[in-house]
C-alpha cells in the first residue's frame, strides 16, 4: 500500500511541478555554479547507500570545505539562489525521482550522509534501518530549522550534531517506526506543508501526541527571525 501511494504521489508531483522545475533549472543553469542537479551518497534502507538527487544550492565540492556535510546558518558555501531554494525547501523536490525509482518513500527518516548517519546511536540505527528514507518525516518536521539550532548552540557544528541532534533524531525515527501507519503518513505530509508556511508552529507536537520532546528543539526555542532555515540532511 505504501509503495502504491509513493508511486501515485511521485507521478502526480512530477506532472504538476514540471513547469516550475523547468524554470528553476534554467535559473540554475545561468547562475552560480551553472549546474542544475547533484547526487550525493546517503545512507538508505538496510544500511545501503544510494544517490540522493537535489537541486544545486551550494558551491562545488562544498563537503570538502570547512563545515563538511553540516550546513550552518548563513553558511558562505550556499549560493544566492540556493538560499531561496533551501528556505522554501524546493531544493528537495528532485527527490521525487528517488521516490519513483524506489530509493525513497514520501514519509520516512531523512536520508543522511554516511558520516552524519554514524552519529545516530547504533542501537537505534539497527532498528530503524528497515525503514525506507523519506522526502519528509518526523525528523524533518522537528528539525526544519536545523541550521538555526546549530547556530544558536554556540558549539562546534559537528560536536552539537553528535551530542544533541543525532541522538534526538534517532529517538524521533524510532517513534515513527513504532507508530507508522497510513494515517500517520498523511498527517506528516499535511504537517510538512503547514510548517513550510508557518515555521514556528507547534502543530506537529499537537497533532502527533506522544512524540518525543527535547528542550533545545521546540518551537519555543526557535526565534521568529531565524525560522525557515533548512537542514543539511
Grid coordinates given for 199: 515555521
Is position 43 within any domain?
yes
Is position 52 within any domain?
yes
> Which one, of 167, 96, 175, 171, lies nearest residue 136 by Cα?
96
pLDDT, averaged across the chain = 88
The 10s digit of each residue's pLDDT in 6-24 is 999 999 999 999 999 999 9
Grid coordinates given for 9: 504521489
Beta strands in 33-192 (DSSP E): 37-43, 49-55, 105-107, 134-136
Looking at the structure of the chain, the number of domains it has is 1
The domain in which residue 192 lies consists of 2-226
The 10s digit of each residue's pLDDT in 171-196 is 999 999 999 999 999 999 999 999 98
Is position 95 within any domain?
yes
Is position 142 within any domain?
yes
For residue 136, what pLDDT is reported? Answer: 95
pLDDT tier at 163, thresholds 50, 70, 90: very high
Distance between CA atoms of 164 and 196, rounded to whole angstroms? 24
Is position 39 within any domain?
yes
Is position 143 within any domain?
yes
Is position 199 within any domain?
yes
**Cβ distance 227 to 199 under 8 Å?**
yes
Task: Tell me whether residue 156 is exposed, middle or buried, using C-beta atoms within 10 angstroms of its C-beta: 0 to 12, 13 to 18, 19 or more.
Answer: exposed
For residue 231, what pLDDT is reported? Answer: 39
pLDDT-above-70 percentage for the chain: 91
The 10s digit of each residue's pLDDT in 101-115 is 999 999 999 999 999
The 10s digit of each residue's pLDDT in 51-88 is 999 999 988 777 766 767 777 667 888 888 988 998 88
**Cβ distance 205 to 175 under 8 Å?**
no
The 10s digit of each residue's pLDDT in 190-213 is 999 999 889 889 999 999 999 999
Is position 114 within any domain?
yes
Residue 227 has pLDDT above 60, yes or no: no
Amino acid at each position: 500500500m505504501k509503495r502504491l501511494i509513493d508511486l501515485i504521489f511521485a507521478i502526480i508531483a512530477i506532472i504538476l511541478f514540471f513547469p516550475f522545475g523547468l524554470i528553476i533549472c534554467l535559473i540554475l543553469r545561468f547562475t552560480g555554479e551553472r549546474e542544475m542537479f547533484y547526487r550525493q551518497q546517503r545512507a538508505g534502507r538496510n544500511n545501503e547507500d544510494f544517490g540522493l538527487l537535489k537541486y544545486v544550492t551550494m558551491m562545488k565540492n562544498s563537503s570538502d570545505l570547512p563545515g563538511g556535510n553540516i550546513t550552518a546558518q548563513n553558511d558562505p558555501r550556499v549560493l544566492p539562489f540556493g538560499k531561496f531554494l533551501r528556505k522554501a525547501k524546493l531544493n528537495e523536490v528532485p527527490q521525487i525521482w528517488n521516490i519513483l525509482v524506489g530509493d525513497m518513500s514520501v514519509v520516512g527518516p531523512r536520508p543522511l550522509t554516511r558520516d552524519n548517519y554514524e552519529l545516530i546511536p547504533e542501537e537505534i540505527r539497527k532498528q530503524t534501518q528497515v525503514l525506507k528514507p523519506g522526502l519528509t518525516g518526523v525528523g524533518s518536521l522537528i528539525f526544519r530549522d536545523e541550521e538555526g539550532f546549530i547556530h544558536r548552540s554556540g558549539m562546534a557544528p559537528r560536536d552539537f550534531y553528535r551530542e544533541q541532534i543525532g541522538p534526538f533524531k534517532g529517538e524521533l525515527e524510532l517513534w515513527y517506526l513504532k507508530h507508522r501507519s497510513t494515517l500517520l503518513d498523511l498527517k506528516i505530509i499535511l504537517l510538512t506543508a503547514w510548517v513550510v508556511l508557518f515555521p514556528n508552529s507547534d502543530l506537529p507536537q499537537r497533532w502527533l501526541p506522544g512524540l518525543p520532546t527535547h528542550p533545545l528543539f521546540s518551537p519555543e526555542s526557535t526565534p521568529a527571525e531565524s525560522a525557515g532555515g533548512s537542514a543539511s540532511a
